[in-house]
Amino acid sequence: MRLLSFLFCGLALLSTEVTADVSVSDPWARSSILASRPGAAYLTLRSDADDRLLSATTPVADHVMIHASETDADSVTRMIHLDALDLGAGQTVRFSPGGMHLMLMGLAGRLDESASFPLTLTFERAGAITVEVPVLGVAATGPEGEP
């Protein structure tokens, strides 16, 4: 009986492994003029536990890259590719024009205003989360600031 209790306690500990609950909000992309140019998608991430964004995929692009912006000592800002993005517990990460963004490389076609597309984000702990990304106007600054 003691062995059985020990096994149940061990199983209970294994089943309480921390998994992150990641929320994805405010996804959007700007419409594009040419399919030959990369597109960009923006959103906000928040995780209740430490996690890591490993990749993103969408059927509208050959591949998706995680990009951040970095400013050097001469005040020159450039994009840098990230292999993954760490999310701290309780931290909010906002992807926005001029900052973090998801670069949509090899578009299958133009991103037309008022259309939408699925985007799947894969996290180390939370797994795959798919969101529908609305395409806003070419001058949009975000869902709340669309002209």
Q: What is the pLDDT along the chain (147 residues), one digit of tens a residue?
A: 554 444 444 444 444 455 679 999 999 999 998 888 999 999 999 999 999 999 999 999 999 999 998 888 888 889 999 999 999 999 999 999 989 999 999 999 999 999 999 999 999 999 999 999 999 999 999 987 555
> What's the CA gap between 85 and 93, in Å, rounded?
10
In this predicted structure, what is the pLDDT of residue 34? Answer: 86
In this predicted structure, what is the pLDDT of residue 81? Answer: 96
Number of alpha helices (DSSP H) and beta strands (DSSP E) in the chain: 1, 10
Cβ atoms within 10 Å, residue 46: 16
| Whether the Cβ atoms of residue 124 and residue 52 lie closer than 8 Å to each other | yes
Q: Tokens 């926005």 sit at which residue?
A: 96
> What's the CA gap between 27 and 56, in Å, rounded?
13
